[in-house]
Each structure stands twice: as structure tokens, then as C-alpha cells.
């Protein structure tokens, strides 16, 4: 298995002197009732977290648990997702961005295998519509579908297990608000939102779009199959105008970012505040929207979610651009091309998010 590395990072000043800061922003959805969870998160807090003050540890762990519960409250797949979580470090590497995630990827699958997995996993109208949009011909021309291990478990491609699915770390010098009742604090970033964004990457919300990992070229994710530039026309390259659709491009459920070097699997930032946006301002709670939950649904997660209005809506401030691109590893200051040795591990993928106001973070 290979690993994908995501990072939230500051970026160099643009020619027009705008400062952009990569930051992950998501909001937690907590339902009025909490059904028994089949979806389980096994969280291992590293010593970089547990060695902090008792007050900090309690606030940090409570906020991170709320982030995981926002997915448990919607999805009920009988799988375990194991995460190693650090403060200032991610899998032993220094976190130089607001948040970073290293995602364990599964072995490559064929388009036919992915279609069969989707068919076997289809549990609602959303799944059925998404499945129907996949034609007989592989749009990647024989590409290698490499998906996060957590998503592979949800789709039934591999057996459930409790081995590590990903590592997540947060920048220890960044200003976060951990209070679930006060997530929009001036000058601070919504920790729950940052955690949710990173968790969603480990769960499977990634884009590969033909990159080479290790010695295997033409890698694609399942999410790549739902990028369109028009009705019936898929967009399989980052940086091009594209939108998320589950019905063959008829309905635009979210326009992807085209920012240079960018977070091509996140939404463009000119719309309402959203947890999967590619831009964010500090002091803002970003909601987990209907489109966000639909994304998680079609990549393998089943549960009580029914598409509808955005959840936990909150007004945003002027956004700042974030970007993500697994192929742009050379732009990441820290060792972004780390190769994990061991059974099935091939490579790391990297991504970055940027922030606009004031102090910028970089991966």
C-alpha cells in the first residue's frame, strides 16, 4: 500500500501582494439523535499531544473526537478507521502547515473492479445515480485506481482491519479554537473544521488525476470519476474548469478549485462558506454541506444522509485561497516524497492549503 500526504501550508506572496494561506475548514454535523455507530474511529494520540498540559490535552481530544463524531452521526459502515494524531508532528515529521495528513493508499484496482465495488456497495438513490453515470468504457484508458485504505474497506475491496489508515498532525504554533460552542473566533482557526477536512482525506476524499506514485503511473482515485467540464464530458486533469456531478454532468454539485498548484479536489472559494472549500478566512466556522456529504457517500460511505440543504450554515468572511495537488511535491518544504518501506507501501502524496490574512501557513 502507498501513502498520500496532505498538508495545509502558507504560500509565497502573489504578484499583486495578496497573501494566501492554506487552511482546512470544515464544520461538524451533529444530528438531533445519535444512532449506534457501526463506523468506528480508533484514535492514537501521540506523545506530542499527550505531553501537553492536561487542560490542552482535554480540549484537543474533545475537539478531535467531535470531528470524528460528525462522520459517525451520518455514516454507519461497519469498519474501523485508525488514525495516529500528533501536535506539531505528523508521522514523526515536523508539521509546517496548519494541518497535514498522510493517507495510507490501497493497491491499484481496475476500472471494472471499482465499478463492481460501487455496485455491491450501492445503498441509496445517490449511489444508484452515481453508479449509472459510470459507462462501460474506462475514462482513464486503463488507469490504476489507487484509493485510501479506509475507503477500500468501506467499499468492501479489502477486509476490515485496525491497522493504521492515516496520520494527521496540526501546526503547534498556529492559533486554534478548540471550543465546539465557539468555533468562529477572530484570529483563530476552527480546529474541528481543520480536523474534519484532514479526516475526510484519510477516509477517501482525494484526487490523483493521473499522477505517478512509486513506479506505478496513471493513478486515479474514485473521486476523479465524478469531475466534469460539461454534460457527458469528464475532466481528468487538475487546474482545468471542472465540477462535481453524480449524474453524468447534468447537475453541478460543487465547482472544483483551479488555483495554480492547487487543491483540485476542493471547491472553488467564491461560493458560500463550506468545509470542503479551497479557501477560508480565519474566525469563521465552515459548514459540512450537502455536497460534502454526497462526496463521502459516493466514495463508499453509507448511512442516514439524504441530500438536502447545507448543514450547520454560517456566514463567511472574505475567503483566502487554498490549494492541493499531489503532483506538486517539489513545492513542499518538508520531505514530501517520503517512501514508506514495508508491505505494500509505495509512496506519499502531498497537498497544501493556504490562508490569506496575516500569518501564512505552509506545508
Query: For 199-243, how does the pLDDT look when each residue is reduced to its tens digit (9 = 90+)?
Result: 999 999 999 999 998 889 999 999 999 999 999 999 999 889 999
pTM (two decimals):
0.78
Query: What would the grid cell of residue 94 be?
Result: 515536523
- Predicted confidence at residue 3, as pLDDT, reads 58
- Predicted confidence at residue 25, as pLDDT, reads 29
* 77-133 pLDDT, tens digit each: 999 999 999 999 999 999 977 788 899 999 899 999 999 999 999 999 999 999 999
Residue 349 contacts residue 213 (beta carbons within 8 Å): yes
Task: Give 332's pLDDT tier (boundaries 50, 70, 90).
Answer: very low
Beta strands in 221-294 (DSSP E): 227-230, 233-234, 243-244, 254-255
How much is the average pLDDT of 287-300?
Answer: 93
* 55-73 pLDDT, tens digit each: 999 999 999 999 999 999 9
At residue 316, does pLDDT exceed 60? no
Residue 220 CB-half CA count within 13 A: 23
- Predicted confidence at residue 26, as pLDDT, reads 30
Residue 96 contacts residue 5 (beta carbons within 8 Å): no
Q: What 3-state DSSP class applies to 194?
A: helix
CA pseudo-torsion sign 297, 303, 309, 310: negative
* 28-41 pLDDT, tens digit each: 333 333 445 589 99
- Predicted confidence at residue 306, as pLDDT, reads 63
- Predicted confidence at residue 139, as pLDDT, reads 96
Task: Give 278's pLDDT tier (boundaries 50, 70, 90).
Answer: confident
Is pLDDT larger for residue 121 or for residue 280?
121
At residue 292, does pLDDT exceed 50? yes
Comparing CA positions, the residue from 159, 183, 146 lying closest to residue 287 is 183
Q: What 3-state DSSP class applies to 71?
A: helix
- Predicted confidence at residue 13, as pLDDT, reads 31
* Cα dist from 239 to 146, 185, 236, 260, whole Å: 21, 32, 10, 7
Query: What would the grid cell of residue 76 be?
Result: 454507519
C-alpha–C-alpha distance, residues 149 and 167, integer Å: 12
- Predicted confidence at residue 343, as pLDDT, reads 22
Q: What is the DSSP letter of 106?
A: -
At residue 324, does pLDDT exceed 70? no
Task: Give 1's pLDDT tier (boundaries 50, 70, 90).
Answer: low
Query: What would the grid cell of residue 300 be?
Result: 463508499
Beta strands at 233-234 and 227-230: parallel, antiparallel or unpaired: antiparallel
Helix, strand, coil percentages, rounded to 5, for the chain? 20, 20, 60
Task: Give 287's pLDDT tier (boundaries 50, 70, 90).
Answer: confident
Residue 117 CB-half CA count within 13 A: 22
Q: What 3-state DSSP class applies to 237?
A: coil
C-alpha–C-alpha distance, residues 146 and 158, integer Å: 13
Sorted by sequence, the CB contacts under 8 Å of residue 156 that are 6+ apart come out as: 117, 120, 121
How much is the average pLDDT of 253-277?
Answer: 82
* 129-180 pLDDT, tens digit each: 999 999 999 999 999 999 999 999 999 999 999 999 999 999 999 999 999 9
Is pLDDT larger for residue 1 or for residue 69?
69
Amino acid at each position: 500500500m502507498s501513502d498520500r500526504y496532505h498538508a495545509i501550508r502558507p504560500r509565497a506572496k502573489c504578484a499583486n501582494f495578496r497573501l494566501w494561506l492554506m487552511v482546512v475548514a470544515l464544520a461538524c454535523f451533529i444530528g438531533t439523535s445519535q444512532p449506534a455507530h457501526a463506523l468506528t474511529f480508533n484514535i492514537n494520540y501521540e506523545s506530542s499531544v499527550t505531553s501537553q498540559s492536561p487542560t490542552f490535552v482535554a480540549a484537543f481530544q474533545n475537539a478531535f473526537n467531535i470531528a470524528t463524531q460528525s462522520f459517525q452521526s451520518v455514516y454507519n459502515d461497519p469498519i474501523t478507521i485508525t488514525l495516529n494524531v500528533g501536535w506539531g508532528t505528523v508521522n514523526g515529521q515536523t508539521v509546517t502547515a496548519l494541518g497535514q495528513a498522510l493517507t495510507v493508499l490501497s493497491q491499484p484496482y481496475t476500472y471494472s473492479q471499482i465499478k463492481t465495488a460501487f455496485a455491491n456497495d450501492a445503498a441509496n438513490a445517490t449511489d444508484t445515480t452515481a453508479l449509472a453515470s459510470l459507462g462501460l468504457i474506462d475514462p482513464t484508458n486503463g488507469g490504476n485506481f489507487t484509493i485510501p485504505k479506509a475507503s477500500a474497506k468501506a467499499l468492501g475491496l479489502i477486509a476490515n482491519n485496525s491497522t493504521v489508515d492515516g496520520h494527521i498532525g496540526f501546526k503547534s504554533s498556529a492559533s486554534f479554537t478548540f471550543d465546539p460552542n465557539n468555533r468562529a473566533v477572530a484570529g483563530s482557526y476552527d480546529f474541528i473544521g481543520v480536523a474534519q477536512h484532514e479526516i475526510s482525506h484519510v477516509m477517501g476524499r482525494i484526487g490523483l488525476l493521473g499522477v505517478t506514485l512509486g513506479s506505478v503511473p496513471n493513478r486515479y482515485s474514485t473521486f476523479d470519476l465524478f469531475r466534469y467540464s460539461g454534460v457527458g464530458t469528464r475532466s481528468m486533469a487538475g487546474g482545468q474548469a471542472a465540477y462535481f456531478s453524480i449524474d453524468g454532468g447534468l447537475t453541478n454539485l460543487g465547482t472544483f478549485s483551479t488555483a495554480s498548484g492547487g487543491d483540485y479536489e476542493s471547491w472553488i472559494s467564491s461560493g458560500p462558506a463550506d468545509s470542503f472549500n479551497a479557501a477560508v478566512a480565519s474566525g469563521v466556522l465552515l459548514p459540512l454541506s450537502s455536497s460534502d456529504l454526497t462526496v463521502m457517500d459516493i466514495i463508499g460511505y453509507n448511512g442516514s444522509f439524504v441530500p438536502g440543504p447545507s448543514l450547520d450554515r454560517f456566514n463567511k468572511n472574505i475567503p483566502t485561497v487554498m490549494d492541493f495537488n499531489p503532483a506538486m511535491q517539489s513545492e513542499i518544504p518538508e520531505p514530501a516524497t517520503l517512501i514508506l518501506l514495508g508491505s505494500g507501501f509505495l509512496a506519499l502524496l502531498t497537498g497544501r492549503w493556504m490562508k490569506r490574512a496575516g500569518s501564512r501557513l505552509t506545508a
